[in-house]
Amino acid sequence: MISSTQISHLSDVLRPASPPREIAGVYTHDQIARLLDVVRTQGPWQLIIAQHFASVEELIATMSGAMPVGVEPSLDMFLTPTFRGYYANYSAVLYPELHDCFYNQVFLEHAKAYWGGAAYAKPQMMLFNINGPCGNTDPGHLDSPSFRGVRHENSPTWLCSVMGKSGLFQDYLIKMAQVITWFSHDAGSGFTYWPNGPAQPPARLQPPIYNRGVVVQNEMMMHRGEANGPIALQRPAGLSFETRFTGDPADKDNWRLMNGETVIAQHRTDELRFLVHWSGEVFEDFAELKMNMDGTHDLTHDQVFDTFIKDMRARGIAVEAPADPLHDQAFIRTLVAAYDFGSPAMYPTEAPVTPVYASAA
């Protein structure tokens, strides 16, 4: 059982460097068309959940709140028709036609200003999420933070998330800023976030959110997207971990969810909720830039797990060092229990959370 003092501490850890800054008119019409054209022509695209998590324990480690007693979680409970692909990674754009979208001077200036006028920034990654009508049972989650030596590129999503939640590795945290933009005409679908920690009231980017976004540090702030579209269409029949999202080759305004060669759902462009996530690394000065790039002050996985185990034992939590800490599900559950705040205390009345176990019933 986590004490009230520890719960308060964990909530305070999950506060971004600055409150999110809302922006509008983020991309030009031409850029939007090119971003969507890559999605249409370069797929098919996998479900987010199928790309990032090998077990339900790993997924829950990124979220907030334990399952109720007696409810046995499974990955199927969290299955929603949201798909992901990457436009850029490792600081390199993957599609030349998106060069100006990724190496974006305006975004770099946003990132530096967000961190109080930092001297340097570089683009690091750019992805998209896309779906038609879609439910959302997410109680709130963190994006994957990166630390010197232990990054989302070389470490499981769940580990980076728990490292962020714990507050034990702040000296190694890489400063990041995101420009996250939504394209949705749904009058009820916005973005919920907790800028002062999950124990405090939430804020909300109000819908409609077409070509509107935020500059934010999403890896240290609990947040959640919101459901969109008619409830009856939010979980299509036949949805599975093998389902793929792709453009219709015969109609550029039509999009398909497919199991193999079978179409299980189709949506028009104006029915989509499309998110574009640009992320940059930020450096206060040249000394910080050099330290981040030369690898002389990096963490190792062994250091991370040693730190966790020592901290948990100091708090009276009985834990043994597993042979394979990156994949040991019992060990992951112990870490989640030790460093999870729980579900946020409040949700917007316009966007309540639906418990995942209720949706699976």
Three-class DSSP category at 29: helix
Count CB-CB contacts under 10 A for residue 334: 19
- 271: its two tokens: 């029915």
Query: Strand 21-24 vs strand 212-216: parallel, antiparallel, or unpaired?
Result: antiparallel
> Per-residue DSSP letters for 38-104?
HHHHH--EEEHHHHH-SSHHHHHHHBSSPPPTT----GGGG--S-EEEEEEETTEESSGGGHHHHS-
What's this model's pTM, rounded to 2 decimal places?
0.88
Q: Compute the distance between CA of residue 299 and CA of residue 59 in angstroms, rounded to an integer.
A: 23
Q: Half-sphere exposure of residue 109, counting CA atoms within 13 Å on the CB side?
A: 3
Q: Compute the distance between CA of residue 144 and CA of residue 130 in angstroms, rounded to an integer.
A: 19
- 256: its two tokens: 């398909």
Q: Which residues in the chain show pLDDT less than 70? A: 1-3, 52-78, 354-361
Q: Compute the distance between CA of residue 336 and CA of residue 166 in angstroms, rounded to an integer.
A: 10
pLDDT for res 74 = 55
Non-local (6+) Cβ contacts of 206 within 8 A are: 190
- 60: its two tokens: 């829950």
Q: Compute the distance between CA of residue 247 and CA of residue 38 in angstroms, rounded to an integer.
A: 10
pLDDT for res 262 = 97
- Residue 303: φ, ψ to 5°: -60, -40
